[in-house]
Amino acid sequence: MMPHVGWQFGPYRVEELIARGGMGEVHRAYDVQHDRYVALKLLTDRGADDEEFRKRFKREAHAAARLREPHVIPIHAYGEIDGRLYLDMRLVEGKNLSRVLADDGPMSPAAAVAIIGQVAAALDAAHAEGLIHRDVKPSNVILQGDFAYLVDFGIARPLTANTDITGSGEALGTLGYMAPERFGSGPVDHRVDVYALACMLFQCLTGDKPFTAENPLAVIFAHANVDPPKPSERRSGVPTGLDRVVAKGMAKNPAERYASAGELASAARKAMHTESTKRLPAVPVVPPPVKRRRPYWMIVAAAVLLLGIAAAAVWLWPKGSTTGNRQPTAPPTTTTATTVPSGPGGLAAPDNPPCDGAHIVIVGSAVTEANYASDLRQFLTAHPGAKYLHAPSTGCSSLRTHLDDTEIYSVYYGPFTDKESACAKRNSVGGDSFVRRLDNTSSSDRAVSCR
């Protein structure tokens, strides 16, 4: 049983319960060593004696901590204190997207596409590291103003499903967003996240999941057999081009989906310029026509899946929020911790590209210390897929490192192996962007010419 609030957990003073899930709790805590408030995730004792479970938790925490993407909440540290596994993350004051949709209803197409673009950037970063999220849904997106964070990377795993430490074949995720291949026993890849992202786009546009029914088997059957409904037929003002984006993102065959989350987001942005609908026909929640049949084994596997889906073994962001009257335990004494570096204002640590002669396209720089975090977030939001660097840390003399006495952070695309590719990107970005070569011979006062 977890202790109540107001107790000391290693260097953390636990102050407030934020949320509780089946495998543990998230607390607001004060890190006395680093003088900051954090979101502290504590696992229950359920897996305390399960060595494979402990390995999986630490492995996946380490994998999530490697992500250097602004739309992934930074992990400060993770480890074990007195036999209890924990995760220390940046504390984000915001609402999850599920709550926003419940309170405010569907989003405007422009707002929905903007949120999807930010989540796609987080997914592309995870996929580039060989990780699958496998639980993409609105309740795992935290909004801080118009800035989105994708959370709950606790079910991130290598792209080859067979390398899972547990070997249990356990089903994680939520039915409303699960790709058809998730209901089988074969391997899955990053395209299950693309499918879920398309489901989430549909929900942002309409306020509802693509398939809903009282019987979970009906939802599974719809994912496997029924074409997704068109968002433009559920809500007026939705560009019809977004119908095609949802349809391709939710293709039953993974090979027919977008190759990446970023590709889906790019298609959604382009679809904003297509015609929108004016009138709405009545459409059932789960359309009755069945256009394809899935093997009988898929339905049987899905039924078995339902029995264990509520007992997902690893989590990072519980969704409920309650308090309980429980007794405190003795203060922990044994600590094993791994600390992860972070950037300004709790951003993920900056990238540090090598000075190897490659080129980058700089799209903006933060030069005021008090505004580092806000300026960087603004540039990163405006340029999905971009990264940021701390110029003094690169060691490249070709980059200007200070403005007066203030260190410079720059948001950029790349690196590109040749000037032509960098210039092509610069031309597509436009604005005040410019190209720099990463080396120790070029002048920091002159950008690379793209003429």
**Under a CB-based contact definition with an 8 Å cutoff, are residues 148 and 309 in contact?**
no
- Rounded Cα distance, 256 and 252, in Å: 8
Amino acid, res. 218: A
Query: How large is the greatest C-alpha to C-alpha distance in the chain, in angstroms?
Result: 71
Structure tokens at 91: 């504390």
Handedness of CA 316, 265, 278, 229 (dihedral sign): negative
H helices within 97-210, ranges in order? 97-104, 109-128, 191-206
**Under a CB-based contact definition with an 8 Å cutoff, are residues 81 and 11 in contact?**
no
Which of 88, 135, 193, 375 is labelled catalytic?
A: 135
- Rounded Cα distance, 104 and 204, in Å: 11
H helices within 34-108, ranges in order? 51-65, 97-104
Q: Is 88 a catalytic residue?
A: no
Amino acid, res. 214: E
Handedness of CA 342, 344, 347, 349 (dihedral sign): negative
Which are the contacts of 142, defined by CB distance < 8 A and separation ≥ 6?
Answer: 73, 92, 94, 95, 96, 97, 148, 149, 151
N residues, the chain: 451
Structure tokens at 346: 């709790």
**Cα separations (Å) of 67 from 74, 176, 342, 348?**
8, 26, 11, 8
Residues with catalytic function? 135
